[in-house]
Amino acid sequence: MIPVTRPFLPPIEEYRDYIESIWTRNWLTNMGPLASKLEMVLKEYFNLNHLLYVTNGTVALQLAIKALELKGEIITTPFSFVATTSSIVWENCSPKFVDIDPFSLNIDPKKIEAAIGPNTSAILATHVYGNPCDVEAIDAIAKKYNLKVIYDGAHAFGVQVNGRSIFEYGDISTCSLHATKLYHSVEGGLIITKDPELLKKIAHMRNFGISGYSSFSELGINGKNSEFHAAMGLINFKWIDKIIKRRLEIIERYNQNLQNFKAKVPLWHKNSNQNGAYLVYILESEDLLLKVKSSLDTFEIFTRRYFYPSLSSSLPYLAPVEMEVTDDIAKRVLCLPLYYELTDEEIDWISRIILRSQNN
């Protein structure tokens, strides 16, 4: 059986060393030394001044919306994981969907301005599959209309635009460190802002709003993470360059094998690097996708229709909205198996099945 993804796990001896240190200190959570160290390590890696390690990527989004005190409508993409939209609704705001660009699959900046109304307070855009949004265009629109910008960078670990971390853009950027991501801490998330006062506010919010031994400054939540998760993050960080390198090698081998595949890949941001987060093909038709998927399923090779269906038409707590490009792309997009341990022989086997199935 070949899954669509498999969490990277380091040598167990390395994790055991950290676990023993946690046992010795008996400090399990509440931003212990390992969680604090992970924040410092990642700040240095991204060359950032401010970064917080939180429970998961969804909590990061919810904290971002709450910290910016957003109300009314938030413009967002219908082509993302459900947490992008559900976080907006959870925080008592209304998502306003804007269709995606058919090439990058990110929110289309040319369509954002027409969606702005008197109750619009922010733009929440996703760097889909780690592919950066047009951050310059979105920033210009936000400044023109005095809107806040949040970026869902759940897939974008290690991505840069114009030589700068993707997390430097927007009022707040978030990231997921879930086990399925290329870099993970089993469960975890990051929240990043350049504003030190905003960071201080979120840090208090992460810890129930506590600002001192017996004082509170904000409405808070339990958004902290544990030493056990931070330990996994610290160990996996030692492997990050090898992980990204191998994933990019795997993608390149697939692309070489599948040059005659009746599909295309998303157009990547021209001033950005790729991080190997996902291997995505946009097939010529949904019929072809179903044929390919069925053939792979027969051999217990599992793919994922990510993202399908479109959020604009599938959520029971929102009225459906027609999004021409998103609705079309969502039916034709397929993620192939991609993880560190995937072998060249397995890649070649998967590729042969795909090419054979499309010609049958």
On whether the pTM is more than 0.85, the answer is yes
Q: Among 30-34, 168-172, 209-213, which is the least confidently predicted range?
A: 209-213
Per-residue pLDDT for 213 more than 90? no
Q: Which of 350, 230, 229, 233 has its CA nearest to residue 298?
A: 350
Tokens 């950290």 correspond to what residue?
18
CA distance 3 to 90: 32
Per-residue pLDDT for 359 more than 90? no
CA distances 79 to 65, 104, 178, 323, 341, Å, are: 19, 11, 19, 10, 29
CA distance 66 to 219: 9
The CATH number assigned to the domain with range 240-359 reads 3.90.1150.10
CA distances 344 to 130, 226, 260, 348, Å, are: 24, 36, 19, 6
pLDDT tens track for 179-192: 999 999 999 999 99
Q: What is the DSSP letter of 266?
A: P
Following DSSP, what letter does each residue of 167-221 receive, concatenated?
GGSSSEEEEE--TTSSS--SS-EEEE-S-HHHHHHHHHHHBTTEEETTEE-S---
What rounded mean pLDDT belongs to the chain?
97
CA distance 342 to 233: 22
Q: What is the DSSP letter of 99?
A: P
Q: What residue spans define the domains of the chain?
A: 12-99+106-237, 240-359
pLDDT tens track for 77-129: 999 999 999 999 999 999 999 999 999 999 999 999 999 999 999 999 999 99
The residue count of the chain comes to: 360
* One fold for 12-99+106-237 and 240-359: no
Query: 3-state SS of the chain: helix, strand, coil percent to 5?
Result: 45, 15, 40
The CATH number assigned to the domain with range 12-99+106-237 reads 3.40.640.10
Q: Quick one: three-class SS letters along 119-177?
A: CEEEEEEECHHHCCCCHHHHHHHHHHHCCEEEEECCCCCCCEECCEEHHHCCCEEEEEC
- The strand pair at 148-152 and 120-126 is best described as parallel
What is the Cβ-side half-sphere exposure of residue 296, based on CA atoms within 13 angstroms?
Answer: 27
Residue 311, amino acid? L
Which uninterrupted H or E stretch holds 33? Answer: helix 33-46
Q: What is the mean pLDDT of residues 294-313?
A: 96
Q: What is the DSSP letter of 69?
A: T
pLDDT tens track for 325-350: 999 999 999 999 999 999 999 999 99
